[in-house]
Chains A and B, each alone.
Chain A
Amino acid sequence: MDQMLGYFLYAMSLLTMGGIYAILALGLNAQWGFAGLFNAGIAGFAALGAYTYALLTTADSPFHYGGLGLPLVIGEMVAMVVSGMVAAVIGAICIRLRADYLAIATIGIAEIIKLVIKNETDITNGPRGINKIPRTWEHLTEERFYSSWPMSMFNTPEGWVSFFDSLPAWWWQPFFAATVLVIMFIFYFLLERARLSPWGRMMAAIRDNEVSARAAGKDVTGRRIEAFILGAVIMGMGGALLAQHLRLIEPTNTFDPAKMTFLVWVMLIAGGSGNNRGAILGGFLVWVLWSGSELMIKGSIDVIASIFSDWDPAILQTRAGFLRMLLIGLLLQLVLQKYPGGILPEKRPAVSGRNAKRAGNRE
């Protein structure tokens, strides 16, 4: 029974983390898949969202600014707004130039965000990070929530304590995973609407042939900045959810570009850029591969260490982690060269189901 519970909770954490990565991949799809904008600073936008959310929602703490203890939803909203505003500034500067410049600038802004987080220790607690970030559902068990409105309307604090004590310790896990998935589906639904709308078709036209789109009177720069902001807003939300899932964030390891930026790129390219379902599929698939290979590596290291007893398993462990990154990198090259469309290639022309037949789209 305990083992079953273990599997169940592992599946829940896979779903949660996969969902967060799928949200980040959806955000990247709005930028790269829709508009052909190269964002190499996903980690930076996620960090912005995560830190904004953390500072606004944590309880008052002597280690960092605030926390303001605001409702979680407000923290999430502001995280999206802040991330979008930074994207607007970067977009206004770089988007009229070719995509390479945007790539360089976004990798730069990600480093700058990290630098600010590390250096402004009064606000962010620097490299030590922010702890005790409230997680949706689990936060209900914190005293500051159950002793105040609206929870205090239904029960006394003592009543809530005994109620939560009667639940198993992991009760919030399925609820949190479901919340992440619902948010992912909302973004999917909205992006799908955007893709099929005239706006989305205009985006594809601009991406595929900028000159003729401009000649047709489309506001190329304006549309691109819109797509860039849209993607960054979604990434900000992904960052806020990541902060909830981890509960402790710090600038260096949490927002390592290899794990955040690069992995999200592999997810989108492998799943199929331009296709929202592809982004979601890639997010879950690559995350399951990534997370599952950790178990496999652990198992094989035990085997190797028992055969070659003079090898230090701790060193093998760290080296194997890098080997995994190497293989993911080669996977990206393979997909790029052999299957440039990904698993679920983009469907063109972008028309909704009812009009698909008329437009000659085989579905």
Chain B
Amino acid sequence: MLEFVNFYFIPGLVLGCIYALGAIGVTLTFGILRFANFAHGEVMMVGAFLTWTFMDFMTGAGLALHPLVAAIPAVVIAIGVSVFVDRYFYRPFRKSSPIIVVIASFGMMLVLRSLVQVIWGPNQITFVKGIAKPNGAIREATSDMGMMILVPDKHLLIMVGTIVIMLAFNYILTSTRMGKAMRAVSDNPDLARTSGINVESVIRNIWVIGGFCAVAAGVFLAMDTQFIESTMGFRILLPIFAAAILGGIGRPFGAVAGGLIIGLAEELVAYPWIGDAPLISPGYKSGIAFMIMVVMLIVRPSGLFRGKVF
């Protein structure tokens, strides 16, 4: 039981948080701009690389920055990149068929990745050194109760950070003018435009929020795996698409639920549910997200939370 919680459930939850943050951006662009943004994973990756660069730079200046602090300037630059890409590579196609934008984003995926590979090289870079020790206080407290729960600090930070971002996001979406405008554009862009909403500024806000969540997810992922590489964005793309579809396109909280389900599923299938061997060989772990997505597309394309179906 303890083994299950410590080595399967908690890592699954952490992975789920990362997927959830990534899926928010995908579901917003898919729901409001109406195209599947293939370059989203690369924004996450760019954010993680920028964060590492700031950390490295400050270490050179004799200051050891925590990744979450170094992520602040990285977020600003990554949002700038997102808005720039939208302005010069997606906006020209706003009036044409959305599938052309998918091609453009597919191209931008490769462009951003090769840009990172040109600047930082193709090799893995260590993000944080050392072995992550379990949090002492939680271990003490739970072992007194007879079950020793081992949570490294990085996992605690990821989970708490995700909850904070979710709450802030919830507030923005439900209580601010900007959030209401976003929901209006999501429901009906033409009606929103005629009622005086500035659609272009709403779109810019989508890139800001999506970019913020993407960088957060990228940095969390780098904190979890402790390394960064240029293919990390591509590897995470399929699970976050699956999470967005599972939760329902255009439903940010559906995307969060989808992300958690897929993160948990990926870790839990490796648990020896029957007998001693893992239920599904860990080598196929990354196929689980695809399986869930395909089943969802057959059974209920609108997702768990009645999202849009195009």
Do the two chains belong together in a single complex?
yes
Choice from B38, B102, B113, B286 contacting A99 with Cβ under 8 Å: B102
- Choose among A107, A269, A333 the residue that contacts B237 (Cβ–Cβ < 8 A): A107
| Contact A329–B110 (Cβ < 8 Å) | yes
Q: Which of A36, A38, A93 contacts B298 (CB 8 A)?
A: A93
> Any chain B CB within 8 A of the CB of A315?
yes
Contacts of A109 in B (CB 8 A): 290
Task: Encode contact with B along A24-60: 1 for CB under 8 Å, 0 otherwise.
Answer: 0000000000001010100000000000000000000
Cβ contact within 8 Å between A319 and B118 = yes
Chain A residues contacting B106 (CB-CB under 8 Å) are 40, 103, 262, 265
Query: Which chain B positions have C-beta within 8 A of A166?
Result: none
Q: How far is the CA of A107 from the CA of B289 in the complex (A)?
A: 12
Q: Could you tell me the distance in whole angstroms from the C-beta of A119 to the nearest C-beta in chain B?
A: 4
> Given the known A-B contacts A36-B99, A258-B110, A315-B121, are A100 and B283 also in contact in the complex, defined by CB atoms under 8 Å?
no
Q: How far is B309's CA from A265's CA once the two chains are assembled, in angstroms?
A: 26
Across-interface contacts of B118 in A (CB, < 8 A): 319, 322-323, 326
Q: A258-B110, A330-B111 are in contact. Are A111 and B30 (CB under 8 A)?
A: no
Contact B122 A269 (CB under 8 A): no
User: Are B297 and A94 in contact, CB atoms less than 8 angstroms apart?
Assistant: yes
| B293→A104 contact, CB < 8 A | yes
Contact B99 A97 (CB under 8 A): no
Closest to B289 in A: A108
Give the shortest distance, in Å, between A209 (CB) and chain B (any CB). 11
CB <8 Å contact, B114 and A329: yes
Q: Are B114 and A108 in contact (CB under 8 A)?
A: no
Structural contact, B103 and A323, CB atoms closer than 8 A = no
State which residues 198-219 of A face B: CB under 8 Å.
none
Given contacts A99-B102, A100-B98, contact A111 B238 (CB under 8 A): yes
The answer for the CA separation of A108 and B292 in the assembled complex, in Å, is: 11
Q: Is the pair B114, A93 in contact by a Cβ cutoff of 8 Å? A: no
Q: Which residues of B contact A330 (CB under 8 A)?
A: 111
Which A residues between 319 and 360 are near B, CB-CB below 8 angstroms? 319, 322-323, 325-326, 328-330, 332-333, 336-337, 340
- Using C-beta atoms within 8 Å of the partner chain, give the interface range for chain A: 35 or more
B residues 15-56 near A (Cβ < 8 Å) are 30, 35-36, 38
Instruction: Tally the A-B contacts, defined by beta carbons under 8 Å.
Output: 120
* CB atoms of A112 and B290 under 8 A apart: yes
A68 at interface by CB-CB < 8 Å: no
A95-129, CB < 8 A from B: 97-101, 103-105, 107-109, 111-112, 115, 118-119
The CB with the most chain A CB atoms within 10 A, among B30, B38, B294, is that of: B294
B115 at interface, CB cutoff 8 A: yes
Q: Is the CB of A97 within 8 A of B103?
A: no
Q: Cβ of B287 < 8 Å from any Cβ of A? A: yes
A318 contacts the other chain (Cβ, under 8 Å)? yes
Instruction: Please measure, in the bound complex, the distance between the C-alpha atom of A104 and the C-alpha atom of B113, giving whole angstroms.
Output: 18
Are the C-beta atoms of A108 and B102 separated by less than 8 Å?
Answer: no
- Chain B residue at minimum C-beta to C-beta distance from A208: B97
Which chain B positions have C-beta within 8 A of A36? Answer: 99
Contact B99 A38 (CB under 8 A): yes
The docked-state distance in angstroms from the alpha carbon of A258 to that of B122 is: 14
Contact with A along B118-136 (1 / 0, CB 8 A): 1001100000000000000
Assembled-state Cα–Cα distance A228/B7 (Å)? 43
Please tell me if the beta carbons of B297 and A319 are within 8 angstroms of each other in the complex.
no
Query: In the complex the two chains form, what is the Cα distance from A119 to B280 in whole Å?
Result: 12
B310–A333 touching, CB < 8 Å: no
Contact present for B110 and A104 (CB under 8 Å): no
Q: A98-B310, A99-B99, A265-B106 are in contact. Are A108 and B281 (CB under 8 A)?
A: no
In the complex, A275 Cα to B301 Cα: how many Å?
33
- Residues 158-179 of B, flagged 1 when their CB comes within 8 A of A and 0 if not, give 0000000000000000000000
B284–A326 touching, CB < 8 Å: no
Question: Which of A108, A119, A319, A326 is the one whose CB lies under 8 Å from B238?
Answer: A108
B62 close to chain A: CB less than 8 A: no
Q: Chain A residues near B241: list those with CB within 8 A.
A: 104, 108
A326-B102 contact given A115-B286, A319-B121, CB 8 Å threshold: no
Give A139-154 as 1s and 0s: 1 = Cβ < 8 Å from B's Cβ atoms. 0000000000000000
- Find chain B residues with CB under 8 A from A323 CB: 114, 118
Nearest B-chain residue to A94, judged by Cβ: B297
Given contact pairs A38-B99, A100-B36, A111-B286, A336 touches B114 in the complex (Cβ within 8 A): no
- Cα(A98)–Cα(B92), bound, Å: 21
Asked if A318 and B121 sit within 8 Å, CB to CB, the answer is yes
CB of B89 within 8 A of chain A?
yes
Residue of A nearest to B282 (CB): A119
Known contacts being A104-B241, A318-B121, A326-B118, is A336 close to B103, with CB within 8 Å? yes
Which residues of B have CB within 8 Å of A265? 103, 106-107
CB neighbours (8 Å) of B264 from chain A are none
A42 shortest CB reach to chain B, Å:
12
A43 to chain B, nearest CB (A): 12
A269 and B104 CA atoms in complex are apart in Å by: 11
Tell me if B141 is interfacial: C-beta within 8 Å of chain A: no
The answer to whether A333 and B297 touch (CB under 8 A), given A103-B36, A322-B122, is no
Q: Does B117 contact A (CB under 8 A)?
A: yes
Q: How far is the CB of A286 from chain B (nearest CB, A)?
A: 13
**B80-102 Cβ-contact flags toward A at 8 Å (1 or 0):** 00000000010011000011101
Q: How far is the CA of A112 from the CA of B100 in the complex (A)?
A: 26
What are the nearest 8 A-B pairs in CB distance? A329-B111, A322-B117, A98-B310, A326-B114, A100-B36, A325-B114, A119-B283, A108-B290
Can you sample 23 A-B contacts with CB below 8 Å?
A: A93-B298, A94-B297, A103-B38, A103-B106, A104-B36, A107-B238, A108-B294, A112-B290, A115-B284, A257-B234, A262-B107, A265-B103, A266-B107, A269-B103, A318-B121, A325-B110, A325-B114, A326-B114, A329-B111, A330-B111, A333-B107, A336-B100, A337-B92
Q: A94-B297, A107-B237 are in contact. List 7 more A-B contacts (CB 8 A).
A: A97-B297, A104-B238, A108-B238, A112-B290, A319-B121, A329-B107, A330-B111
